[in-house]
Structure 1
């Protein structure tokens, strides 16, 4: 991301954000300096994104929030062979949610949704791990049709119990 100096020494202008998208929605990288990344994504109803995480040494923690719409948010620890896929509904009224770097994370758009997240590291394609849980979630939560990217469809198949997380 390129920044331009202004006449005021305390302010810089950011170039237009990087935007990637397709029929499922888009992602915009709003800010990326050092290990701080701010992204905003939009997804149409029925889209599932994930589950993803980045392996060491490129671990990436996130804090997320929904700006508009509703999602089911999912996390699981892929290293726990007896693990559970935890989920929770997140809306604009929900506070920020922290995702620990060891967890694979994803979300299902219950409505058209705008979603924002901060990451403490840059995206590293070589370190990305992807897990395909679409069939498991469809069956467990009666979700109906799920739209997946080709990359998410090709993820490592994972079947685990699905449990709703508490509200605290």
Structure 2
């Protein structure tokens, strides 16, 4: 497994080692011991989530406020997505900046997102299945988010804005300024 730290402290792209032959393929999608050895981060996932969406569906940018902030390990089971995170940790060198990465079932990339980031993704293929693990359970009273089109972020979602499909909840999310002061680095 190749673990690459991004310029965002604690945000890692993981490329598993894939063993392929005429029967198909096998890979270890995650090893807590290997991840901790390589990064110094102890990951204890308590909930696994999966979604299936059509092209243009945008989910996010979501986060949970303390004390229920979540670290996430995300990957694509089928299709292609653009995954986007925003660093909300005051004092971080990448505070209020975003990181995006295209991920697919074919490339098998994963992204480890530490606590203190907003997270979202958009479906670029006709459909996609998305899987993620979190280290704290869903806490609806601490659920929060940032609008996908916040002008201070200027995120390129790779699709025409008018073709994006959002939930009513996501249409009503606040701004990046509303999220200020929620997390410390």
The TM-score normalised by the length of structure 1 is 0.67
The one of 157, 166, 169 equivalent to 1:148 is: 166
| Contact 2:59 2:166 survives alignment (8 Å) | yes
Q: Which runs of 5+ in 1 are unaligned?
A: 1-33, 160-168
Distance apart, 1:106 and its partner CA = 0.4
Q: Which residue of 1 aligns with 2:119?
A: 105
Q: Which residue of 2 aligns with 1:129?
A: 144
Distance apart, 1:84 and its partner CA = 1.8
Distance 2:159 2:168 in 1: 19
| Contact 1:53 1:59 survives alignment (8 Å) | yes
| Contact 1:75 1:104 survives alignment (8 Å) | yes
Residue by residue, what CA displacement relative to the aligned partner does 1:9-65 show, whole Å, maximum 9, x if unpaired?
xxxxxxxxxxxxxxxxxxxxxxxxx96111111011000000011111001111011
Distance apart, 1:101 and its partner CA = 1.2
Distance 2:118 2:129 in 1: 20
Distance 2:45 2:78 in 1: 27
When the two chains are superposed, the root-mean-square deviation of aligned CA atoms in Å is 2.5
Q: Which runs of 5+ in 2 are unaligned?
A: 1-43, 178-185
Distance apart, 1:113 and its partner CA = 0.4
Q: Please identify runs of 4+ aligned residues in structure 1 that moved more than 4 A.
A: 79-82, 135-139
Distance 1:79 1:120 in 2: 18
| Contact 1:45 1:109 survives alignment (8 Å) | yes
| Contact 1:60 1:119 survives alignment (8 Å) | yes
More strand by share: 1
The TM-score normalised by the length of structure 2 is 0.61
Q: What number of residue pairs does the alignment pair up?
A: 126
